[in-house]
Structure 1
């Protein structure tokens, strides 16, 4: 986690330059963003708190996931204690970074160690090479792979009855859409049982501007013109931000799905900051879910900004502690 000083962008900053990308004529991106990667390690002799390894989801799509297993679980497993499973989706607007990105690797290491959970961080296909719903499809394929996997770590250490879908920013949007799909046919994932969603600053949009989007139009992390470009690159060609993949209120059957979430007794943790341009979208999600009787745990922090936990270590620790409390609230 870095502690760097962030400055607001110039109002004339080009969004492509801001993201360090170039959009090619064949609908691919040249990505020039500095993105250090970390390799997995399952060497128990090393002085590491969490063991990691990668598993293939779909060879042809080149999708995979990284498992994070607290080393202490392998030492104290004589009582066959099983750990909850957190299926994590990284952020970066559907278009950048990876489950191997050091930023997200380190976050998942701390989360697995502190929460005492197995974390499966999904490396899904990126847009615009693979526009939505590719990432949503990959999320479902990851869950299907996990439920049927014969991987030793999953079989030996995971409590399949305590699974949570989690993400930050665009990753939270992926977790949300995966949840909407899962709740329609929960039996298809047995013995995997979803208990809740953990949505950190979810990335939603619409053609109508919210107060927070206008107030923070020139935000230093996700200014409005950058958010618009991300959706242009991520959504299917020819649709606008009022499409169901983007807009909370678009699409058929959302109310019914929220009612099913209530009936399944899932809990939903929604974490937001007042200094995030997306905060009003999070508030809207909470309102819509609560109107349908979904049990929502709200984490509202004054100030901060989008992704603050990746810049300030104390914010990451506080949020991970919140996740630990949320996961621990479910009976064994």
Structure 2
């Protein structure tokens, strides 16, 4: 049973305490000066596995992206492709979740998810790190996400040059990573314009992290959710949005401001978008609203909403992951 399922199961046994602390729920402590301290023992970590073996269906390794920002990425390649530099594989750039405040590329559920993704999609997967808030508020993570794409396009790394078809690149992410994939894609296209040889073909938004000042119906309905309750989301937005911004900033609520214009740009670029959500995720209504507006703005959207699934349900649940990857595979190879 994964971390998300464990917490969700607890919600069925008891209602949250009136003294529910969203900071403790996230695994952080707020200091008097406004900084935070993260619990380093909250999640298990996994090392890269660069050595091919019959038991190892996917190899992985870590490479530095930007020394000055201390950003890096973990690359995953199916072991069977290591000796094949002729037929190249699609590239999936996957950004991890954590409310822009916690977690890392090497957090074990994200590592295992990427490992399985590379195997099941028969793809090269690159999982870039990004600077966390509140030390580095948005748009720092978006800048790092776009920086990683420029790095990949210019990289002389052997795994990338030999095995990745950069003309078939898909940006993906879970929770905050889904939000980041969307915004990094927009940033790269608007600022860099031509990313050749890298070409973005689509976005895979897995349970993307959205917010807004006024509670939507699903947030009211699942106010006591034990996985990612709206109050915990509020804390993350408070820590990661630009100082003085509220949750109706376009970073958290892509239906406001110039968000609709950005969606029109995605439509013009011809990107396919998969919007994947869980039926008991407090953010499900926001995800549906974003998908609906994207369609109205001319974006080719595939909706994948599953009944009864909590936020991030597929992380750590191989059976659910396999079903998700089957849907992603049909998108990538269509």
Quick check: 1:7 aligned with 2:10? yes
Shift of 1:176: 0.9
Written as runs of structure 1 = structure 2, the 5 A alignment for 1:276-287 is 276-287=281-292
Local SS of the residue matching 2:165: strand
Query: Does the CA contact (< 8 Å) of 1:91 and 1:167 recur in 2?
Result: yes
User: Residue 227 of structure 2 aligns with which residue?
Assistant: 221
Q: 1:66 aligns with which of 74, 80, 95?
A: 74
Written as runs of structure 1 = structure 2, the 5 A alignment for 1:249-260 is 249-252=255-258, 254-260=259-265
Written as runs of structure 1 = structure 2, the 5 A alignment for 1:234-245 is 234-245=240-251
User: Residue 55 of structure 1 aligns with which residue?
Assistant: 63
Question: 2-side partners of 1:268 and 1:236: how far apart?
Answer: 27
Question: 1-side partners of 2:225 and 2:102: how far apart?
Answer: 19
User: Residue 309 of structure 2 aligns with which residue?
Assistant: 304
Q: 1:37 aligns with which of 39, 45, 48?
A: 45
CA deviations over 1:209-257 (Å, ceiling 9, x no partner) = 10000000000101121111111111122221111211112333x3333
Question: 2-side partners of 1:163 and 1:156: how far apart?
Answer: 15
CA deviations over 1:18-39 (Å, ceiling 9, x no partner) = 1221122444321115111111
Q: Across the two proteins, how many residue pairs are aligned to each other?
A: 326
CA deviations over 1:105-126 (Å, ceiling 9, x no partner) = 0000000011010000011111
User: Residue 135 of structure 1 aligns with which residue?
Assistant: 141
User: Residue 28 of structure 1 aligns with which residue?
Assistant: 35
Question: 1-side partners of 2:92 and 2:53: how far apart?
Answer: 25
Gap change, CA 1:199 and 1:263, over 3 Å in 2:
same
Local SS of the residue matching 1:69: strand
Shift of 1:186: 6.3
Structure 1 stretches of 4+ with a deviation exceeding 4 A read: none
User: Residue 175 of structure 1 aligns with which residue?
Assistant: 181
Question: 2-side partners of 1:316 and 1:44: how far apart?
Answer: 23
Written as runs of structure 1 = structure 2, the 5 A alignment for 1:39-188 is 39-45=47-53, 47-75=55-83, 77=84, 80-184=86-190, 187-188=193-194
| TM-score in terms of structure 2 length | 0.93
User: Residue 209 of structure 2 aligns with which residue?
Assistant: 203
Question: 1-side partners of 2:193 and 2:134: how far apart?
Answer: 33
Please, what is the CA RMSD of the aligned residues?
A: 1.6
CA deviations over 1:190-210 (Å, ceiling 9, x no partner) = 110000000011111110110
Quick check: 1:193 aligned with 2:199? yes
Local SS of the residue matching 2:301: strand
| TM-score in terms of structure 1 length | 0.94
Question: 1-side partners of 2:32 and 2:138: how far apart?
Answer: 19
Question: 2-side partners of 1:48 and 1:297: how far apart?
Answer: 32
Question: 2-side partners of 1:240 and 1:262: how far apart?
Answer: 28
Question: 1-side partners of 2:142 and 2:193: how far apart?
Answer: 19
Query: Does the CA contact (< 8 Å) of 1:4 and 1:311 recur in 2?
Result: no
In structure 1, runs of 5+ residues without a counterpart are: none
Shift of 1:317: 1.4
Query: Does the CA contact (< 8 Å) of 2:52 and 2:58 recur in 1?
Result: no
Quick check: 1:19 aligned with 2:22? no
